[in-house]
Structure 1
Amino acid sequence: MALTDIEPVSRESTAAIIARQLREAIMNGTFAPGTQLGETELAGRFQVSRGPLREAMQRLVSEGLLRSERHRGLFVIDLEPDDVHDIYSARFAIERAAVIRVLRHGDGEAVALRLMSAVEDMATASDGDAVAEADVRFHEELVAASGSKRLGRMARTLLIETRMCLSALHRTYATNEERVTEHKRIAEALASGDEEQTTALLEAHMEDAVQRLAPGTSLYT
């Protein structure tokens, strides 16, 4: 194909903008799992016709964030116990691989410093959304530090479902201290260069989340 055949990239469509905003609303818990999304209400809120709204909503159906029920409409997906188990099992596999790469490259101490910055933000967060942002950043930093584009890409595909989990997870803690402590211990183990201890703490962290979100479910089953 010749360069003259390449066409200019079009601006983001209205449907894409709506899809992005709906995705963010699902991710941060504005639309909780199980919420029905009404076309009339959303079209009024976005001040758009139903055409681009329907296109946007179908995008989220294809992404697995909305489910369609015949004669009832569209709903935000519910995260069933099996979904929670699957999400955290996949995350542990990705982040364990990241830890191994970081430590075998001798970067544990430097990466731990970046992780501690996220831990500090978590400790001083004023609300659940800020805690979730810092929590996500901790794990994103860990995966990014591995230098693996594929691990990073896999982690990003889990981001929205992870954020949905984190919004629900925040409500299971009486105080934020326990959550902060879990992340701090992982960062400290990484700084020490102890691969076995770091992965054990990471696994325990994921297992704790699974049991909080889906009582009776375990990472090991």
Structure 2
Amino acid sequence: MAEQLTGLVDDRALLGRTSTAERVSDILRSRIAEGYFPPGTRLSEDSIGNALRVSRNTLREAFRLLTHERLLVHELNRGVFVRVLTVEDVEDIYRTRGLVERAVVRGLGKPPYGLDLLAEAVAEGLRAAREGDWKGLGTANIHFHRELVGLAGSERTDELMRSVFAELRLAFHVVDDPKALHEPYLARNQKILEALEAGDKRYAEELLAVYLADSLERVVEVYRRRVGKSI
């Protein structure tokens, strides 16, 4: 927990002069998505409140917002915990990803597309793989798909998928083999990027569909074996 709280102290500057529950929830959501708070982690009001220097009421409202997003769960007389997903949750997350990500690619207009951030996410993944930073590779993979969704230019879609990707990271934590989980998809991210750079959004969507189907099968297979041990 000490490392997690140190990160929150670093995030304190993001709050600015007005420490709102929405900004606190943004910070905690990002920390969950980046893997600092694994599933089943109890979130201490005192520790997190002190790290961020926010009031108990502000923090409780942030917890409420993230509970509504299905990232946290409140257990009576025990406290607030990062949620442990079920297999059905994982399947639903991928169903949502397929509907949204494929629709974004399908709905792109005429090329060229603004792919700089997508290319940066691929480069981030390549650096992480070279350095053996498998947690970083998982984060880069999430960034790739977040930037892919961002090609739609829709704040509503970005907001929807921000929570979906944070939930997805909870599933990745239970699988707990980031190299095996993410490394095979780094090359696939590159191929999707190359298809979009070539202006071939139809091929990019086909690659994405196969990617998501294979990833779902792989994650669920391992998740079914391990989820019982993680609860």
Shorter-chain TM-score bucket reads 0.7 to 0.9
Structure of greater Rg: 1
Instruction: Classify 1:49/1:143 alpha carbon distance in 2 versus 1 (closer, same or farther; 3 Å).
Output: closer
Is 1:181 matched with 2:187? Answer: yes
Q: CA deviation at 1:211?
A: 2.3
> Which deviations, in whole Å up to 9, do the C-alpha atoms of 1:23-68 show, x marking residues without a partner?
2322222111111223344455456664443333233223322111
Q: Which of 106, 120, 128 is equivalent to 2:110?
A: 106
Q: Which of 118, 121, 136 is equivalent to 2:121?
A: 118
> Letter of the aligned partner of 1:21 in structure 2?
I
Contact 2:39–2:173 (8 Å) recurs in 1: no
Instruction: Classify 1:57/1:200 alpha carbon distance in 2 versus 1 (closer, same or farther; 3 Å).
Output: same
Structure 1 unpaired stretches of 5+: 1-9
Instruction: Classify 1:152/1:29 alpha carbon distance in 2 versus 1 (closer, same or farther; 3 Å).
Output: closer
Contact 1:111–1:191 (8 Å) recurs in 2: no
**Structure 2 length as normaliser, TM-score?**
0.70
Point out the structure with the larger helix share.
Answer: 2
Is 1:56 matched with 2:59? Answer: no
Q: CA deviation at 1:111?
A: 4.6
Instruction: Classify 1:39/1:156 alpha carbon distance in 2 versus 1 (closer, same or farther; 3 Å).
Output: closer
> Which deviations, in whole Å up to 9, do the C-alpha atoms of 1:198-220 show, x marking residues without a partner?
22211121122222322189xxx
2:226 match: none
Q: CA deviation at 1:76?
A: 0.7
The SS at the match of 2:73 is: strand
Distance in 2 (alpha carbons) for counterparts of 1:12 and 1:157? 23
Distance in 2 (alpha carbons) for counterparts of 1:41 and 1:156? 25
> Letter of the aligned partner of 2:110 in structure 1?
G
Instruction: Classify 1:110/1:167 alpha carbon distance in 2 versus 1 (closer, same or farther; 3 Å).
Output: farther
**Structure 1 length as normaliser, TM-score?**
0.73
Distance in 2 (alpha carbons) for counterparts of 1:100 and 1:48? 43
The SS at the match of 2:107 is: helix
Structure 2 unpaired stretches of 5+: 1-15, 224-231
Distance in 1 (alpha carbons) for counterparts of 2:189 and 2:135? 17
Is 1:81 matched with 2:87? Answer: yes
> Letter of the aligned partner of 2:213 in structure 1?
E
Q: Which of 194, 197, 203 is equivalent to 2:209?
A: 203
